[in-house]
Structure 1
Amino acid sequence: MMKWACHRPLALVLGMAGLAFGAPGAEATESGASLYLLGSGGPGTAVMPPLEGLYFDKMVWVYDGSAEANRRIPVNGNITLGLDTTIVADFTTLLAVPSTNFLGGTLAVGVTMPLGAPIIDAEGLLTGPAGGTTLTGSLHDSALTTGDPVVLTQLGWQADKLHIQLSTMTNVPIGHYRESGLANLSLHRWAVDGSLALSWHDPESGWDISAKAGYTANGDNRDSGYDSGDEIHIEGAIEKALSPKFSLGIQGYYQKQVSDDRGMLGPFRGEVVAVGATAATTVMMAGVPATFRGRIMEEIDTTNRLEGTSFWLDFTVPIHMNMPAG
């Protein structure tokens, strides 16, 4: 269990706080927010917990990004001009593993709850029909708010050092949505993501090579009338355990919108490339292994999105495990 904790923090998920707002002339999905949190498919992403039980993960995620003043971005039924965005978000995940022999693999189900404080500054706001007839000057909006709960399912198999995982995430639009505000964590739309992950994980040498790819299907926001396009995401990571308690690695991701948005500014599609570094350490707490993982991801090429930097800190610990006899 200790090796799983070191290389596979739950860090599972969720980009619903990914308010990486859009870009030149428009935006990738409404407010640039995605269900899948880009960068979460890091080292050991396909490695499942080895024992039945209940696992807890706490992730703090900070994003800081901006867009130039000539970039028009749809947010909550309005069009914003020039955004500067800072988001501090907390994701709490409970993951239950009811079986390690389901269809020959390990089954896990769980839920993630987000809480955060988005801070939004816009240089201008266009309101009215067909892109706006009224121009408002600079605006500032911030809030401490909850996002939508996300339901998780995972099914994973192991063949020697190779780990394979299928996973789904479903965004349930019942979180706090501020219709008149710019700062939101809630997507306020149904969305489903399906992903396939592979990890070549060698505890003896300390190397982990992981990759993950997925497809996100987005629904429409009935309050704003915006129907976001679908997206694909691809991630990769390489990590080396330098000691039984410490590991260091690099990772990156690519995201592209593959179908058109419908609403406000037209069929604009987003795209982003990012690279970064990650490190993890495992310590014993109350007789069980607890893992802390940090990450920094820098977006180096974006289209129709904000460009910025994200910082992560994960804490993962098993709450209960069904230990084998003896």
Structure 2
Amino acid sequence: MIKRSIGAQIISRAALGSVFSLLLVESAFAGEGASSDYLQGTYGDFQAAVWGDAGVYLRNDLAYYDADVGAHARGGKVSAKLDQQMWLNNLQLVWLSDTTLWGARIGSAVLVPYFANIKASGDLSTAQGTASASGDEQGIGDIYVSPLMLNWVNGEHNFTFAPALYIPTGKYDEDEALNAGRNYWALDVSGSYTWFDADAGHEFSMTTGVMFNDRNSDTDYKTGTEFHLDALAAQYLSESFGLGIVGYYYKQLDSDDGPLQGPVDASSIQAEGAGFGPAVIWNQAVGTRTLSVIGKAYFDTTSTDRFDGNLYMLSIAIDL
């Protein structure tokens, strides 16, 4: 029988609070800055809806994202190219309880993202000519808080409901080329499901959610409502080792709203993206505790009005 993984028992949610793109072009792509509080790879994980014993859990995610937005034209008047590389570290603390509410166990989670380094460079062409800019940034991003999580179990089926807030705690200055924060609140209403056959070592997990974004008061720009879906299929080869395939799909349900730099209509901006890649998990006993190490890679296969690139993530989790 395969044991449940401690790393998966910790909520795998992660915040991406950074505005990647340069001020020069930050309003020219869907999701202000061509990005979002949602980042592929941070919602999908092994046993996404499986909870461990009551207690406190610690997890750290280190991610590297190398992506670009290619030549982008709107009405033949605005075109841009943007390249960015990012090192992101997420530190999250999760509390799980045996207390029940509506037949579900309750818990809560908080995550603090730290951008160790963000570098970006880009070009913008308008009727007035072409300009280039580059920049780098580091600092704490927008903190993620899920004050009340609910978890139900029915045999091999696990369900978790975990609404969360992204709090605009990251540094933001509309006159700066790069920012660690997004300068608006966001509510993510999401849930996870895991089917886990411990005898055969089979698993299927998915997390889906809808994110509602507030308006950026400094730029008067509002990112459209966002839908996201992350999934994983895995096979455990032993009690301590498993392999899987991860994938994601993202789509804005409605368009952005707000003024743009250049003759671009925000109502025509609606992002979409998808990608997949490999995943691996290894569990190791450390005294009376269990240490989990999780590796994942995501390769974007399609991106519209959104960054396109490769993301690599290494996670370490342990029960305290």
Counterpart AA for 2:29:
E
Aligned partner of 1:138 among 132, 140, 162: 132
Deviations 1:95-134 (A, max 9, x none): 11233423222211121111112111112387xxxxxx86
The 5 Å alignment of 1:172-211 reads: 172-211=167-206
1:249 alignment partner in structure 2: 244
Aligned partner of 2:32 among 10, 19, 30: 30
Asked if 1:269 corresponds to 2:270, the answer is yes
Asked if 1:121 corresponds to 2:115, the answer is no
The 5 Å alignment of 1:20-169 reads: 26-39=28-41, 40-49=43-52, 51-71=53-73, 81-116=80-115, 117-124=117-124, 137-152=131-146, 153-169=148-164
TM-score (norm 1): 0.86
Counterpart AA for 1:16:
G
SS in 1 for 2:33: helix
CA-based RMSD? 2.4
- Alignment gaps of 5+ in structure 1: 73-78, 127-132, 320-326
Q: 1:61, CA displacement in angstroms?
A: 1.3
Q: In the alignment, is the contact (CA less than 8 A) between 2:49 and 2:151 conserved in 1?
A: yes
Give, in whole Å, the separation in 2 of the partners of 1:47 and 1:182.
Answer: 41
2:311 alignment partner in structure 1: 310
Give, in whole Å, the separation in 2 of the partners of 1:81 and 1:195.
Answer: 33
Asked if 1:237 corresponds to 2:240, the answer is no
SS in 2 for 1:233: strand
Give, in whole Å, the separation in 2 of the partners of 1:8 and 1:105.
Answer: 15
Deviations 1:245-302 (A, max 9, x none): 1100001111100111112131100000111110010112243101010000011011
Counterpart AA for 1:38:
Q
1:11 alignment partner in structure 2: 12
Q: 1:173, CA displacement in angstroms?
A: 1.0
Give, in whole Å, the separation in 2 of the partners of 1:17 and 1:125.
Answer: 24
SS in 2 for 1:11: coil
TM-score (norm 2): 0.88
Q: 1:305, CA displacement in angstroms?
A: 0.9
The 5 Å alignment of 1:214-229 reads: 214-229=209-224
Give, in whole Å, the separation in 2 of the partners of 1:46 and 1:18.
Answer: 29
Give, in whole Å, the separation in 1 of the partners of 2:144 and 2:8.
Answer: 23
Q: In the alignment, is the contact (CA less than 8 A) between 1:97 and 1:107 conserved in 2?
A: yes
My pick for the range that moved more, 242-251 or 99-108, is 99-108
Counterpart AA for 1:66:
D
CA 1:199–1:293: 2 relative to 1, 3 Å: same
Count of equivalent residues: 304
CA 1:305–1:18: 2 relative to 1, 3 Å: same
Counterpart AA for 2:45:
G
Counterpart AA for 2:165:
T
Give, in whole Å, the separation in 2 of the partners of 1:18 and 1:70.
Answer: 18
SS in 2 for 1:30: coil
My pick for the range that moved more, 117-126 or 243-252, is 117-126
Give, in whole Å, the separation in 1 of the partners of 2:10 and 2:240.
Answer: 14
Give, in whole Å, the separation in 1 of the partners of 2:10 and 2:238.
Answer: 17
Deviations 1:204-254 (A, max 9, x none): 111111122110001111112211110111222100111111100001111
Counterpart AA for 2:200:
S
SS in 2 for 1:3: coil
Counterpart AA for 1:233:
H
Q: In the alignment, is the contact (CA less than 8 A) between 1:173 and 1:187 conserved in 2?
A: yes
Counterpart AA for 1:189:
Y
SS in 2 for 1:99: strand
